[in-house]
Chain A
Amino acid sequence: MNVQVLFGSIELGMIYAIMALGVFISFRTLNMPDLTVDGSFVLGAAVSAVMCTSGHPQAALGTAFLAGCIAGSCTALLHTKLKIQPLLAGILVMLGLWSVNLRVMAGKANIPLINKTTVFNLLDGTALETYATMIIPAAIIIILMLLLYYFLKTELGLVIRATGDNEQMVRALGCNTDWTILIGLAVANGLVALSGAMIAQYQSFADITMGTGMVIIGLASVIIGEVLFGIKSLMRRLIAVVLGAMLYRLVIAAAYQLGMSPNDFKLVSALIVALALSMPVIKERYQIWKKRRENHANHLGEERKNA
């Protein structure tokens, strides 16, 4: 793997890590399988592309975040007020977002941003110009991690985390879980949309299909992070998610270099997540199998002694 590819993967990894943090909030903190992600990622990219075209690349990021918050709120309301299962609520909003995203993109399936000013031009004219694509994502992801860490330790953050553990307890302690779920899913999808917005500017286009499978990529990143870097403390978990997202990009880049077709990446992601999710069952089976073998060995030993 040459240096350019390596750097590229790290940069992409940091931008996708924003999305993975969003997935971490919905899947892990709220314990809710939120499939809005595939739609809100494109929503962020679409908003970003349109606003870049009209010359507002920075404001595009903030607007994309807010748009994602609204998408997440819709999913939350479908679930909490209309009692639709989270999985289904997310799919419904994702489906609806396809049309919304096309509207945002003025009916075009693709918006190129070649030669448009983006946030990556912020350092133009300074000594750091050539490293902008590394420095800007790094700065953003670090700031976001710190904000998120602080947020999840606020009074509101604590009850959002508790909601994922035990809704009953949160209500018994005087907090409306409809509200905590709303805030949680809003922030989660806001982050996802922000990630989409950055990706659009990074790769200089937005495409209506760019969100397909995003939730699985996010989940894969979260799981890789958990397995390799641990879940001890909250900060550790956030760092693990970010490193997981970066590692995922590196693995994909390596696979690509080794000649794997990009068409197969989604299948590989699906396999990784399936494997990771089945880990507890596999572990249990393995324990049972080991025990049986031990018993069997003991049994044989005794038979031999007796004989």
Chain B
Amino acid sequence: MLKIETITKIFSPGSINEKKAIDNLSLTLDKGEFVTVIGGNGAGKSTLLNCIAGVLETDSGKIYLGGEDITYMPEYKRSRYIGRVFQDPLLGTAFDMTIEENLAIAYSKAKTRGLAPGIRKSQSKLFREKLARLGLGLENRIQQKVGLLSGGQRQALTLLLATIVKPELLLLDEHTAALDPAASRQVMDLTRQLIMEHQLTTIMVTHNMKNALEFGSRTIMMHEGRIILDLQGRERTEMTVEKLIEHFSRKSGEVLDNDRLLLI
């Protein structure tokens, strides 16, 4: 499904600030696979996701999605196949537009937008149903502006926007990091529900070590732009948070350092 071949990303090459954020990284994901990603501050997790999504161009290497070479495809075209939820709840939605309008934009994701009406009656019904499934009561607020929603509600809505047209790949970058614990749990449950329901191939960056092991079927650990640990199957089911941290120190020779890191 997703095949990343030895990609490298260097910020400000040639200057004193030169930073190799992704270092000859390769990764292959099967269809339906759900991978969680952990790593310290500046490990290159967000950069990796941005390279896959096309926000950043890679300096070398190739990226294939569903067999197609997308290495040089612009961000907006890749988005037809890739759904994304960002860490910042403000980034996922248009705040001055209604919930319904936001959903309509997401719903026309796969086609060229023309002069047809943006919202049709039949769609409204579908949107209400989908919103009702979130269990947040948003189906009754469909005409309200998104700016009125809380962070958790926005992230739930962004998840829906990212998946209302089934994406081939879902990228989640610490999408609950800005939420309070209760909202975070709620959005996490929703995430799991949506991924299971649509059998979505997913990469989820998380700062929560427990979530990393608990969610999905595979966990990778990043350090200095490389994958230093790739856990699946039995090795993963037997892994604990303590052992994971120990593993990190051994592999990287450093103490795992992430200011948002949650160990429990």
Contact = CB atoms under 8 A, between A and B. Distances in A.
Interface of A: 151, 153-159, 161-162, 164-166, 168-177
Given A155-B113, A166-B91, A171 B118 contact: no
Given A153-B118, A168-B91, A173 B105 contact: yes
A155, A156, A166, A174: most-surrounded residue (chain B CB, <10 A): A174
A157 B162 CA distance: 20
A174 B91 contact: no
B106 A173 contact: yes
Contacts of B90: 166
A176 B76 CA distance: 5
A168 B102 CA distance: 13
Interface of B: 53, 74-77, 79-80, 83-84, 86, 90-97, 101-102, 104-106, 108-110, 113-119, 161-162
Nearest to B92: A169
A181 to B, nearest CB: 12
A168 B79 CA distance: 11
The binding surface of chain B is classed by DSSP as loop
Contact of A172 (B79, B104, B117, B119): B79
B94 A169 contact: yes
A205 B150 CA distance: 55
Nearest to B158: A169
A162 B115 contact: no
Given A162-B97, A162-B105, A169-B93, A177 B117 contact: no
Given A155-B116, A166-B91, A173-B109, 8 more contacts: A154-B115, A154-B118, A156-B115, A159-B105, A159-B113, A162-B105, A168-B86, A168-B91
A256 to B, nearest CB: 37
B113 A166 contact: no
A121 B114 CA distance: 37
Contacts of A174: 76-77, 79-80, 109-110
A151 to B, nearest CB: 7
A226 to B, nearest CB: 13
A154 B95 contact: no
A169 B90 CA distance: 9
Contacts of B95: 165-166
Nearest to A166: B94
14 contacts: A154-B113, A154-B115, A155-B104, A156-B115, A157-B118, A158-B105, A158-B113, A161-B96, A162-B97, A166-B95, A169-B93, A171-B76, A172-B92, A173-B79
